[in-house]
A and B are shown apart, each in its own frame.
Chain A
Amino acid sequence: MSEYVIEMLNITKEFPGIKANDNITLQLKRGEVHALLGENGAGKSTLMSVLFGLYQAEQGTIKKDGQVVQINNPNDANALHIGMVHQHFKLVEIFSVLDNIILGAEPNKMGFLQKAEARKKVVALSEKYGLQVDPDAKIEDISVGMQQRVEILKMLYRDNDILIFDEPTAVLTPQEIDELMEIMRNFTKEGKSILFITHKLNEIMAVADRCTVLRKGKCIGTVEIKNTTKEELSRMMVGRTVQLEVEKGAQNLGDVVLDVKGVTVPSKLHSNNAVKDVSFQVRAGEIVCLAGIEGNGQTQFVYALTGLDKMSAGSISLCGHDITKAKIRDRSKLGMSHIPEDRHKHGLVLDFSLEENLVLQRYWQPEFQKSGFIRSQEVRKYAEKLIQQYDIRSGQGPITAARAMSGGNQQKAIIAREIDKNPELLVAVQPTRGLDVGAIENVHKQLVAQRDAGKAVLLVSLELEEVMSVPDRILVMYEGEIVGEFDPKHVTVEELGLYMAGAKNMYREVGVGTQVPEKEGNEA
């Protein structure tokens, strides 16, 4: 038998205008955790989709146990015992856990479902691997962590022994991440092989045996983890040396810029409040981070703060002006800038050009309009200035459609627009979501520059590395409440994780048997 369970040899996959995978070779050993590292758009997901049968490669061969195989669809992959946990879970929300697990591989007699035997198998598997799930719960009612366990059980139910995990840790708490790593190690002990897609270096160092690095569709190399360092990996990934630590100057605190008192926001989904009596201040010259697991009221709080939604109680003042009921433009005029969580929904008009998007906050100013008509030459000049200053790259410069730009450059455009307004308060909600290491470094530099220039910055983040490295103060939010305040220099990730999961609260006792945070999705 071959040393490798799966070999992807010289894979080339082209999409119109771009080579997503260019002659990539990846070999997976039996019983190893093999990390696949690369920036966004490096071709990781494409490569895995080829292996999983969602795409067909133009060139190259795939071998299983040394035999050349054809994988034309997920059924073929399944027959070869290849399973995948997708980054965005592929679960039907109104179905039960059991129905989701058996979907596509239903035990049946003449087409009639035989759920009893399926249930037995699922319960046995979940006990064997410590993957606790409730087979009858509906997906929409369970936590993200449990949803992931359902995805893993889906693979095990199909007797898969080559398991692909596509960025599995993005949605988990630190404790859940540790559990997942443990589960992965258990799988490898049983001889299962794991492909682990990620761009988080810490996790690779913790769990992987080997790592293949992709950059711009090309394979940079495969390294043994025990012979490498984080710095080396990030250099391979980006192609230059990246500063992993955020550099900050000495803090120079000023006056209170943002004063939030008792803000309460009702939920759109249930009778509870999404945000409960939240109070804090942000002063000039500091970065305050609102941390927490997704869906604990951060989105709703920011909506209330920026005026996208109404609050039911409390008050907000900005630089001494009460803005509790102010219009969005008035908030903006008073010095609030907002880098929204969903850059496609609230950040850009995707079918407008780059220059139109850049001037979106100021087109009404005399500089850019004359008796109601846009002065397009001024807009063009202004856009070109920002494009240069913030290094926004696009196909056709100012007239590129925002939709056609990469995520990182879309974000740069929003940041340029919001920072060039010269705000007193910058509200940045997950500003690095979906960006790669190089782009993240750039965003962090901009935030710190605002702080050093004596502005107030409110950062809302789900990324622990960001939470630990960027802000001067951390506020943890759980189920709509602020449950703790920390100095990042004096707190550990584990400690933060306990607060984020609701197991600890600085301000009151926590009951035994903490609850899974109720899901509070963005009102899409």
Chain B
Amino acid sequence: MIVLADVISATIVFAVPLLLVAMGGMFSERSGIINIALEGIMIIGALMGCLMMRWLDAAVVAGQLGAQLAMLIATLFAGVCGIVFSVLLAFASINLKADQTIGGTALNMLAPALAIVLTWVVQGQGQTTILIPTWSRITQETFGITVANPFLQNLLFKNSYLTTFITVLLFIAGVILLYKTKFGLRLMACGEHPQAAASVGINVFKMRWAGVMISGFLGGIGGLAFTLAAGSGFQSSVAGYGFLALAVMIFGNWKPWSILGASLFFALFKVIGAYASSIPFMPQFKGLEGVSTYLYPMLPYIITMILLILTSKKSRAPKAEGIPYDKGMR
């Protein structure tokens, strides 16, 4: 039973970055810009979030600043830095009409390099890991309560971070923004048929900038959320989660609720992979320890490939994504 609580809480904490980043990708692609730079945006968000936590560490330890308030600052800072980084993609692909895939790939190559350099600059040469302070987690002490039941204890407080709750709010806000507002309708129109949008007086450039910047914000926070979930500090990498998020977005058919389902699904497999040895009913391949050591961590990626193969025929990408908008084209 305790294992179940662990699996659920770990699933949620790993689903959070996938959900955030895939939602970000969705906003960008529905506005018409392929955002393959999500991986890079996550790295930048994680880097800057972790640095902010490091800078605030002294104040929090000294009790001058509430731990969760510091987390909120770090989270927002990660999001804002994600926006700043995504602006590079927006400018290249919208204003300069560059190839979006190449532009995104360039950013993905830039981000880890930048992260290593900045980490060294801040921490000194050779210090490649930015450690995450222990106060970042929400614990029983945060609320000043004691939960005796070990199941609930593990479920609620083993992997609890502020980013999880921010993500819930951002997801709901995202759904409303996309489906219930003027902005969302216009954004989707720009990703499907920008000429139609322009003919009714919508500024396609503006909407696409907005789409990319939203993806930068969500991607940046997602990067931080991933680093918190991984737990071992920031090492200039997010382990391919940006690309996994892209797969989640495609599997979720560019729709928020499906993306929510898809990210929980992938996170579950990731967690099953990690906890396989402690889950009773999982085959353990006695005598072939190497198999389970490598097979289970591969699970989420293998499942991703299989599902994408199976569902790709039905998936329907925004029609105009990847095509630079040109006023003269009709």
Chain A contacts to B: CB under 8 angstroms: 52, 54, 73-75, 78, 84, 86, 88-95, 99-100, 102-106, 108, 111-113, 154
Contact check, A111 vs B319: say whether CB atoms are below 8 A apart: no
Contact check, A93 vs B181: say whether CB atoms are below 8 A apart: no
A52 vs B195: C-alpha distance in the bound complex, in angstroms?
14
> Using Cβ atoms and an 8 Å threshold, which residues of chain B touch A75?
201
Contact check, A113 vs B193: say whether CB atoms are below 8 A apart: no
> Using Cβ atoms and an 8 Å threshold, which residues of chain A touch B162?
none
Q: Which residue of A lies closest to B199 (CB)?
A: A90
16 contacts across the A-B interface (CB closer than 8 A): A73-B201, A74-B201, A78-B200, A89-B196, A90-B195, A91-B193, A92-B189, A93-B319, A94-B316, A103-B185, A103-B186, A103-B189, A104-B197, A111-B183, A113-B180, A113-B185
Q: Is B57 an interface residue (CB 8 A)?
A: no
Give the distance to chain A from B256, nearest Cβ to Cβ, in Å: 15
> Using Cβ atoms and an 8 Å threshold, which residues of chain B touch A103?
185-186, 189, 196-197, 200, 202
Contact check, A88 vs B199: say whether CB atoms are below 8 A apart: no
Q: Is B286 an interface residue (CB 8 A)?
A: no
Q: Which residue of A lies closest to B183 (CB)?
A: A111
Contact check, A93 vs B193: say whether CB atoms are below 8 A apart: yes
A93 vs B193: C-alpha distance in the bound complex, in angstroms?
8
Q: Is B314 an interface residue (CB 8 A)?
A: no
Contact check, A90 vs B193: say whether CB atoms are below 8 A apart: yes
For the complex with contacts A92-B192, A106-B185, 11 further pairs of A-B residues with Cβ separation under 8 Å are: A92-B196, A99-B185, A103-B186, A103-B189, A103-B197, A104-B197, A104-B200, A104-B201, A105-B200, A106-B182, A111-B181
Chain B contacts to A: CB under 8 angstroms: 180-183, 185-186, 188-189, 192-193, 195-202, 316, 319, 327, 330
Q: Which residue of A lies closest to B176 (CB)?
A: A112
> Using Cβ atoms and an 8 Å threshold, which residues of chain A touch B316?
94
A89 vs B200: C-alpha distance in the bound complex, in angstroms?
12
Contact check, A111 vs B201: say whether CB atoms are below 8 A apart: no
> Using Cβ atoms and an 8 Å threshold, which residues of chain A touch B327?
54
> Using Cβ atoms and an 8 Å threshold, which residues of chain A touch B196?
89-92, 100, 103
Give the distance to chain B from A165, nearest Cβ to Cβ, in Å: 14
A142 vs B198: C-alpha distance in the bound complex, in angstroms?
23
A153 vs B185: C-alpha distance in the bound complex, in angstroms?
18
Q: Chain A interface mostly helix, strand, loop or mixed?
A: loop
Given A103-B197, A111-B182, A112-B181, A92:B202 Cβ within 8 A: no
Q: Which residue of B lies closest to A88 (CB)?
A: B330
> Using Cβ atoms and an 8 Å threshold, which residues of chain A touch B319?
93-94
Give the distance to chain A from B155, nearest Cβ to Cβ, in Å: 36
Give the distance to chain B from A109, nearest Cβ to Cβ, in Å: 10
> Using Cβ atoms and an 8 Å threshold, which residues of chain A touch B189?
92, 95, 103
The answer, among A88, A90, A112, for a CB contact under 8 Å with B200, is A90
Given A99-B185, A111-B181, A111-B182, A104:B202 Cβ within 8 A: yes
Give the distance to chain A from B229, nearest Cβ to Cβ, in Å: 33
> Using Cβ atoms and an 8 Å threshold, which residues of chain B touch A90?
193, 195-196, 199-200
> Using Cβ atoms and an 8 Å threshold, which residues of chain B touch A94?
188, 192, 316, 319
User: Which of B185, B192, B330 gathers most chain A CB within 10 Å?
Assistant: B185
> Using Cβ atoms and an 8 Å threshold, which residues of chain A touch B185?
95, 99, 102-103, 106, 113
> Using Cβ atoms and an 8 Å threshold, which residues of chain A touch B197?
92, 103-104
A154 vs B182: C-alpha distance in the bound complex, in angstroms?
16
Contact check, A74 vs B193: say whether CB atoms are below 8 A apart: no
A122 vs B180: C-alpha distance in the bound complex, in angstroms?
19
Given A94-B192, A95-B188, A84:B199 Cβ within 8 A: yes
The answer, among A74, A92, A108, for a CB contact under 8 Å with B181, is A108
Q: Which residue of B lies closest to A154 (CB)?
A: B200
Q: Which residue of A lies closest to B201 (CB)?
A: A75
Q: Which residue of A lies closest to B191 (CB)?
A: A92
Q: Which residue of B lies closest to A94 (CB)?
A: B192
Contact check, A86 vs B199: say whether CB atoms are below 8 A apart: yes
- Leading 10 A-B pairs by shortest Cβ distance: A104-B200, A90-B196, A75-B201, A90-B199, A74-B201, A106-B182, A92-B192, A108-B182, A111-B181, A92-B193
Q: Which residue of B lies closest to A76 (CB)?
A: B201
Contact check, B330 vs A74: say whether CB atoms are below 8 A apart: no
Give the distance to chain A from B225, nearest Cβ to Cβ, in Å: 28
User: Which of A78, A93, A104, A154 gathers most chain B CB within 10 Å?
Assistant: A104
> Using Cβ atoms and an 8 Å threshold, which residues of chain A touch B195?
90
Contact check, A92 vs B188: say whether CB atoms are below 8 A apart: yes
Contact check, A112 vs B180: say whether CB atoms are below 8 A apart: yes
> Using Cβ atoms and an 8 Å threshold, which residues of chain B touch A99?
185
A95 vs B319: C-alpha distance in the bound complex, in angstroms?
12
A161 vs B198: C-alpha distance in the bound complex, in angstroms?
21
Q: Which residue of B lies closest to A53 (CB)?
A: B201
A92 vs B180: C-alpha distance in the bound complex, in angstroms?
17
A100 vs B188: C-alpha distance in the bound complex, in angstroms?
11
Contact check, B192 vs A74: say whether CB atoms are below 8 A apart: no
> Using Cβ atoms and an 8 Å threshold, which residues of chain B touch A104?
186, 197, 200-202
Given A90-B195, A92-B192, A74:B182 Cβ within 8 A: no
A54 vs B193: C-alpha distance in the bound complex, in angstroms?
16
User: Which of A75, A89, A90, A91 gathers most chain B CB within 10 Å?
Assistant: A90
A55 vs B207: C-alpha distance in the bound complex, in angstroms?
21
Contact check, B188 vs A113: say whether CB atoms are below 8 A apart: no
A89 vs B196: C-alpha distance in the bound complex, in angstroms?
8
The answer, among B180, B183, B200, for a CB contact under 8 Å with A74, is B200
Give the distance to chain A from B214, nearest Cβ to Cβ, in Å: 15
Given A93-B319, A111-B181, A74:B198 Cβ within 8 A: yes
Contact check, A113 vs B192: say whether CB atoms are below 8 A apart: no
A95 vs B197: C-alpha distance in the bound complex, in angstroms?
12
Give the distance to chain A from B22, nearest Cβ to Cβ, in Å: 19
> Using Cβ atoms and an 8 Å threshold, which residues of chain A touch B181?
108, 111-113
A93 vs B195: C-alpha distance in the bound complex, in angstroms?
13
A105 vs B185: C-alpha distance in the bound complex, in angstroms?
11
A302 vs B195: C-alpha distance in the bound complex, in angstroms?
31
Q: Which residue of B lies closest to A52 (CB)?
A: B199
A205 vs B98: C-alpha distance in the bound complex, in angstroms?
49
